[in-house]
Amino acid sequence: MQTEDMEVPIINNLNDNGDRQRPKGKDVFKDQQKESELYSYTEEPEFALNRDYFEEDFRSHRGRRWIELTVEEQRAYVMRLLDALEVTDRDKRLKVARAILYLAQVFDECDTEVDVLHWSRHNIFLLYDMGIFTALLELLSMEINSQACSSAVRKPAISLADSTELVLLSIMYLMVETIRVQTEDDRPEWIAAREAFKNELSPLYNGEPFALLLFTMVTKFCSMNAPHFPMKKVLLLLWKTILQFTLGGFEELQEMKVRHRERLNLPPLPEDSIKVVRAMRAASPPASAMELIEQQQQQKRGRRSRRPLVKQDSLDTYNERDPFKNDDARDEEEDPEDTDSGIEGEVDPLDRDVIIQPPPPPPPLRPPTERVNFPKGLPWAPKVEKDIEHFLETSRNKFIGFTLGDTETLVGLPRPIHESVKTLKQHKYMSIAEVQIKREEELQQCPLTLGEEEVEDTAAEMLYLGMLPNLSQYVIALLKLLLAAAPTSKAKTDSINILADVLPEEMLQFEIVSQHLVFANCIPLILKFFNQNIMSYISAKNICVLDFPHCVVHEMPELTAESLEAGDSSQFCWRNLFSCINLLRILNKLTKWKHSRTMMLVVFKSAPILKRALKVKQAMMQLYVLKLLKIQTKYLGRQWRKSNMKTMSAIYQKVRHRLNDDWAYGN
């Protein structure tokens, strides 16, 4: 099967981690992939090493297995391990840490994968209840500032062996990943522990949040002050901490918007953006230059079996069927910047007699009974923000000759202007950002009268306060990882997800973070990322040789080049796909309503790059690509719009409309 024809099944139903959603608690293996991605292939022998250290320390209970101990006996043993973590000998602390890691990850005493996951979950909640996570925080802070960093800098070459001592990150990641996941069979004490854990990560630890400590590790690694840090584990832990316990995901963002609008007495949102995107259908991409050449060659070879050229469908039919189902290549003209041969889908002069023939009626795509299942109209409600004032000023200058500066008086204006103003007011939308900017302007004008603004002491606010002094360093460090990593490297995709999550929703904070990203050349870097074979990147195989917890219960095959290339049977790599979506979201956030940044997209010739990304038949990714194409359409010229009518129609169908926006015809 060609990659261009691939379509991901049920791909719209994604959660914040890029995995297909399942009902909570229905599938016991729904999070094992997230745990197995922590391990590299060189860590498989360490499973046995961790078991040896655990059994060496567990000799006092010789003759009994861990699963045979009572809960009180297990708590007593964990307390003994906790005391052993405080010894001054670094090698002894490492052995104890490996014994704790064995409790958190694997069990040779279990016979099935279900038992491994069950006892791992039980042990992790037990470890957290006994205060292991707090002790690991102190040890990690000590390791960051230890002599190991200075000794690693002096080494001529750094290997994986230099980072094996930081097994603390593996324990902490397993604890964060396991505690944050809710299941139907959670005990009441586990639910309470989850809330306590969330509150524990938010307050300051030694003057900084836990996420800020991990950001410090990232900057030290990128500045070559600590080249031995296992950056993949650091980024994974940082991403999951920010995602779940600090900023939240899509659902939390939507709930936060609803709460803030209620608190500011603003009208409710016109629709739930998450539900709208999940209900969208992926469209077939426009034809590429090579496809156009091949199809024209086939047409020349088979003149006798020519089909009549079907005229373009009206936009009203897009509510009931996919506008890209017509495979006639003569309707799909490639971007002139993409085609070196100058092919623009023109019809051969010999075929002009065919064009004047009346087109046959299109066959029905589906039985009439199925059409009622699709919603009528466009998916998004149109919005009007600042268009009413501009529209009235233009109309008054045209019909009266002067302006009044208000939006209520319509005296002297013709009846169609009255109807237009009524329609604009029906769709008027006041964003939270506008209220925040207005409030900030009032505070600057009357600082003594209004006093200081009351800021809610949330986890996101504390993280931003901690990051602000060194914000540019954190942003540059993440972009360095994005630039330096290989296309299939896990470190790059995790840094992408962190960038997408770290952009705050408070207006002024968002503008500051965005400015740092733009100054660090984030826009051309993202375009450079997409200027590759994006279908090959998304359809890359997930290498599953070291499959946790399968590798614990069963004997794994020898690691060879053939086994690495085997991969899994999945048609798409979910993490790579979701990383591309997050990059497009970042690009949209940086360029929205910013003329100078939009011109950067035009100057760097992003249109053909983004059009190639439309080959990925996933609704959410196509939506963000079409948004980026829409904001620069008026700058691409009339010829580009004429040559890309399929793309223009897709923008009309899938992207929200702004009334009085001249995106489709402005120059």
Across the range 616-638, mean pLDDT stands at: 93
The pLDDT confidence band at residue 59, using thresholds 50, 70 and 90, is confident
**Amino acid at site 1:** M
Spatial distance between the Cα atoms of 533 and 643, rounded to a whole number of angstroms:
23
Q: Above 70 in pLDDT, residue 575?
A: yes
The pLDDT confidence band at residue 338, using thresholds 50, 70 and 90, is very low
**Chain-centre distance for alpha carbon 2:** 26
Q: Which of 40-44, 78-82, 379-383, 449-453 has the lowest mean pLDDT?
A: 40-44
Spatial distance between the Cα atoms of 661 and 655, rounded to a whole number of angstroms:
13
Q: Above 50 in pLDDT, residue 269?
A: yes
- How many domains does the structure of the chain reveal? 3
Across the range 306-312, mean pLDDT stands at: 46
Spatial distance between the Cα atoms of 552 and 547, rounded to a whole number of angstroms:
9
Which domain covers residue 69, as residue numbers?
28-149+159-248
**Chain-centre distance for alpha carbon 483:** 17
444 within a domain of the structure (yes/no) = no
Between these two residues, 366 and 36, which has the higher pLDDT value?
A: 36
Check if the beta carbon of residue 453 is closer than 8 Å to that of residue 409: no
Given this model, what pLDDT does residue 81 score? Answer: 92
Domain termination site, one of 429, 450, 467? 429
**Same-domain check for residues 415 and 535:** no
484 within a domain of the structure (yes/no) = no
Spatial distance between the Cα atoms of 99 and 50, rounded to a whole number of angstroms:
6
Highest mean pLDDT among 185-194, 350-359, 558-567: 185-194
447 within a domain of the structure (yes/no) = no
Spatial distance between the Cα atoms of 211 and 239, rounded to a whole number of angstroms:
9
Q: Which of 426, 393, 427, 423 is nearest to 407 (CA)?
A: 393
Q: Which of 2-16, 33-47, 270-284 has the lowest mean pLDDT?
A: 2-16
At residue 20, what are phi and psi to the nearest 5 degrees?
A: -65, 140
Spatial distance between the Cα atoms of 56 and 81, rounded to a whole number of angstroms:
12
Q: Above 60 in pLDDT, residue 8?
A: no
Domain termination site, one of 248, 266, 281? 248
**Same-domain check for residues 399 and 531:** no
Between these two residues, 494 and 420, which has the higher pLDDT value?
A: 420
**Same-domain check for residues 79 and 214:** yes
Spatial distance between the Cα atoms of 121 and 174, rounded to a whole number of angstroms:
9
Spatial distance between the Cα atoms of 432 and 566, rounded to a whole number of angstroms:
49
The answer for 206, left when phi > 0, alpha when psi is -120 to 50, beta otherwise, is left
Which residues are 205's β-sheet partners? 208
Spatial distance between the Cα atoms of 523 and 589, rounded to a whole number of angstroms:
11
**Same-domain check for residues 530 and 410:** no
Residues 6+ apart with CB under 8 A from 409: none
User: Residue 614 to residues 199, 429, 507, 654, 656: CA-CA distances in angstroms?
Assistant: 41, 30, 30, 13, 18
Across the range 52-64, mean pLDDT stands at: 78
User: Which tens digits make up the pLDDT trace of 207-220?
Assistant: 678 899 999 999 99
Spatial distance between the Cα atoms of 645 and 402, rounded to a whole number of angstroms:
39
Spatial distance between the Cα atoms of 174 and 177, rounded to a whole number of angstroms:
5
Spatial distance between the Cα atoms of 38 and 623, rounded to a whole number of angstroms:
31
116 within a domain of the structure (yes/no) = yes
Across the range 293-316, mean pLDDT stands at: 56
Given this model, what pLDDT does residue 409 score? Answer: 83
- For the chain, give the percent of residues with pLDDT over 90: 25
**Amino acid at site 571:** Q
User: Residue 215 to residues 176, 476, 631: CA-CA distances in angstroms?
Assistant: 17, 11, 33
Spatial distance between the Cα atoms of 402 and 409, rounded to a whole number of angstroms:
13
Spatial distance between the Cα atoms of 592 and 22, rounded to a whole number of angstroms:
33
**Same-domain check for residues 425 and 522:** no
Q: Is 55 strand, coil or helix? A: helix
Q: Which of 172, 155, 55, 146 is nearest to 109 (CA)?
A: 55
**Same-domain check for residues 32 and 181:** yes
User: Residue 402 to residues 377, 396, 405, 410: CA-CA distances in angstroms?
Assistant: 38, 6, 10, 13
Q: How many residues does the chain have?
A: 667
Given this model, what pLDDT does residue 66 score? Answer: 86
**Same-domain check for residues 425 and 535:** no
Spatial distance between the Cα atoms of 2 and 259, rounded to a whole number of angstroms:
46
Neighbours of 417 (CB within 10 A): 18
488 within a domain of the structure (yes/no) = no
Check if the beta carbon of residue 121 is closer than 8 Å to that of residue 178: yes
Given this model, what pLDDT does residue 142 score? Answer: 85
299 within a domain of the structure (yes/no) = no
Spatial distance between the Cα atoms of 257 and 455, rounded to a whole number of angstroms:
16
User: Which tens digits make up the pLDDT trace of 112-171?
Assistant: 777 878 888 999 999 999 999 999 998 888 888 776 666 666 666 565 555 666 789 989
**Same-domain check for residues 227 and 89:** yes
Between these two residues, 14 and 662, which has the higher pLDDT value?
A: 662
352 within a domain of the structure (yes/no) = no
User: Which tens digits make up the pLDDT trace of 412-453?
Assistant: 889 999 999 898 888 888 899 889 888 888 888 888 787 777
Given this model, what pLDDT does residue 331 score? Answer: 38
Check if the beta carbon of residue 502 is closer than 8 Å to that of residue 452: no
Round the average pLDDT of the chain to a whole number and report it. 76
Q: Above 90 in pLDDT, residue 374?
A: no
Q: Which residue has the tokens 């016109």?
A: 270
**Same-domain check for residues 199 and 54:** yes
**Same-domain check for residues 425 and 510:** no
Across the range 647-660, mean pLDDT stands at: 90
The pLDDT confidence band at residue 407, using thresholds 50, 70 and 90, is confident
Between these two residues, 486 and 483, which has the higher pLDDT value?
A: 483
**Same-domain check for residues 516 and 422:** no
Q: Which of 394, 427, 428 is nearest to 413 (CA)?
A: 394
Across the range 511-536, mean pLDDT stands at: 91
Q: Above 70 in pLDDT, residue 63?
A: no
338 within a domain of the structure (yes/no) = no
Largest CA distance in the chain: 98
Q: Is 40 strand, coil or helix? A: coil
Given this model, what pLDDT does residue 145 score? Answer: 79
pTM to 2 decimal places = 0.77
DSSP states along 430-449: --HHHHHHHHHHHHHH-HHH
Q: Which residue has the tokens 């939270």?
A: 432
Domain termination site, one of 214, 248, 282? 248
- For the chain, give the percent of residues with pLDDT over 70: 69
